[in-house]
Structure 1
Amino acid sequence: MKIRYNYVKKEEVKYCDASSTVKEAYDQLKETGYRSIPVLGDGGKKFAGLIYKVTLLEYYHEMDGKDEDSIASLIKDEDAFILEEESFIKAFLTIKRLPFLAVINEDQEFAGIMTHTNIMEVLEDSFGMKTGGYLMTVATKEHKGAIKELVSTVKDVNIEGMLTLDNGDYLRRIVVNLSHELTEKKLNKIISKLEEKDFRVTSIDDVHKEKAVALKGN
């Protein structure tokens, strides 16, 4: 999966010009409400790094900074970017310590940002959360062909998504998203089949109900 299909485009991104003063940058951050925004140079084409609200506050209060000072020395995380054609997994592993990643296109120009929300949306989609269904958590002893055997056992039902947990441990959990069209009778039959093959079904969650509860809570 490529980055190019899953990020916020430049037109929707609030950013700061590399030539901005401390006050201009601080005012932009206050206006957006974000703790950090990208800094762009060369007329908004080149990614220069990130400017953080906390960095500006520290500069004001701890370094006696002035409004008219340049932000050049306060720009951080100049390497917080990923290429548009790179894989999603690289973004997933890189973004952990950052508020977002800048996305750079094939012309080496700033194209937008990938946020933690983008990451979550991709994971939800790959896990089948958008289509609903039943999330069945299955525990099994770690062994070769475990996933193949599980999939073979539920072959009569459409699998919307799958996630493995505890990889490398003696006991592994496999979460399978089964079609929302599944009847209770068919679900019980699947559970029985799995348990016959030494899989243990530890929980079953209705995605539609869980999403409804989450939305109600918000």
Structure 2
Amino acid sequence: MKIRYNYVEKEKVKYCEASSTVKEAYDQLKKTGYRSIPVLDESGKKFAGLIYKVTLLEYYHEQDGKDEDSITSLIKDQDAFISEEESFIKAFLTIKRLPFLAVINDEQEFAGIMTHANIMNVLEDSFGMKTGGYLMTVATKEHKGAIKELVSTVKDVNIEGMLTLDNGDYLRRIVLNLSHELTEKKLNKIISKLEEKDFRVTFIDDVHKEKAAAGKGK
């Protein structure tokens, strides 16, 4: 999956330019309420890095910074960007230490940002949080052909997604996203078939119920 379909486009992003003063950048950050925003070059097209609210505050209070000073020396994380043609997994691994990633198009111009919320939306989709269904966690001893055997055992059911955990460990957990159309009787039959094959069903989440419960808690 490429990230071009999963980021906030430039038109919806608040940013400042590298020519901004400390006060201009700080005012922009206060206006947005964010702890960091992207910085673009004077053309407004090229990504120059990130400016952090805490960096500006430290500059004011610890370095006796002035409102009219340039933010050039305060810009950080100039490498916090990714191409919109890159894979989702690269973005997932890169964004960990950052508030967001700048997204660069084919012309090497700033196209928008990928946020942690974007990442969560993709993960929610893979877990069936949008369509509902059952998330069945299955434990198995790690062995060649384990996933093939698992899928073959539940071949009569529509598997809408699958996630493997504990890869490389002796015991592996596999999470199956099964159709919301399953009846309780059919679900129990699947559990029995899996246990006959030495798979152990450790947990089942009803996505519809979890979403309803989460909604009540807001």
Q: TM > 0.5 between the two?
A: yes
Please say if 1:25 is aligned against 2:25: yes
> Deviations 1:128-159 (Å, cap 9, x if unpaired)?
22111011111100011111111111111111
Following TM superposition, the consecutive aligned residue runs of length 4 or more in structure 1 with deviations greater than 6 angstroms are none
Alpha-carbon distance, 1:82 to partner: 0.3
CA-atom RMSD in angstroms: 0.8
* Correspondence for 1:134: 134
- In the TM superposition, what is the alpha-carbon distance from 1:122 to its structure 2 partner? 1.1
| 1:131/1:160 contact within 8 Å kept | no
Please say if residues 133 and 208 of structure 2, whose CA atoms lie closer than 8 Å, have aligned partners that are also in contact. Answer: yes
Whether 2:199 is the aligned partner of 1:173: answer no
CA contact (8 A) 2:133 2:177 kept: yes
Query: How high is the sequence identity, in percent, across the aligned residues?
Result: 91
- Once the two structures are overlaid, the 10-residue window that deviates more, 160-169 or 55-64, is 160-169
Q: Distance in 2 between matches of 1:209 and 1:127?
A: 14
Q: Which runs of 5+ in 1 are unaligned?
A: none
Equivalent positions of 1:23-172 (< 5 A) are 23-172=23-172
Structure 1 length-normalised TM = 0.98
Offset of residue 161 of structure 1: 1.1
Q: TM-score, normalised by structure 2?
A: 0.98
Q: Deviations over 1:154-194 (max 9, x none)?
A: 11111111111111111111111110000011000000000
**Which moved further from structure 2: 65-74 or 153-162?**
153-162
| Unaligned segments of structure 2, at least 5 residues | none
What is the CA-CA distance between 1:106 and the residue it aligns to? 0.4
- Contact 2:19 2:42 (C-alpha < 8 Å) held by counterparts: no
